[in-house]
Amino acid sequence: MISIVAFHPKKATSCNYSSPVLTYSKRKDDLGIFHKWSDLDIVIRMNATLLKALLALVPACMLFAGSVVFFFTRKTVGSFLQVIGAGCLVGVVLTHIFEALRLFAWMHWGLEHSVGHYLDFWSAVLGLTLFPVGYLLHALARQG
């Protein structure tokens, strides 16, 4: 049985852990530094969120880099909208990374009616609107 022992700021001072480690335990219910299953469950979910966000960062950055290159080759309104839209999509991915790492806690990531929620929401709306509109303008300009 493997129990996961990870860094927890409030509990790390009492057990002196400073980085994630794996420990082997013979007891089935050994939770390491965690005092209840919900603490361990939160860490596992946050690591899954971080993994998903990091995987989404790759295509978002590729989309952003491609639209920046396209903007510098053809400076049109459509290419500018694509850059802004791709930047907003990168912003969405970064908000999820910040949420998983619990950075900028004052933004209250994941809570309704918080600054972090609205930043994530409006970045997604603008990204999913501006990028296709920019692409559409580019396609229409090529035909005309």
Q: How many helices (H) and strands (E) does the chain have?
A: 4, 2
Nearest CA among 59, 11, 18 for reference residue 35: 11
Mean pLDDT of 3-31: 46
Mean pLDDT of 104-130: 90
**Do the Cβ atoms of 134 and 142 come closer than 8 Å?**
no
Mean pLDDT of 36-62: 78
Six-digit token string for 69: 């290159």
Tell if the pTM clears 0.75, that is, is over it.
Answer: no
- From the number of C-beta atoms within 10 Å of its C-beta (0-12, 13-18, 19+), residue 5 rates as buried
- From the number of C-beta atoms within 10 Å of its C-beta (0-12, 13-18, 19+), residue 104 rates as middle
The overall average pLDDT reported for the chain is 78
Instruction: Using the predicted structure, report yes or no on whether residue 45 has a pLDDT greater than 80.
Output: no
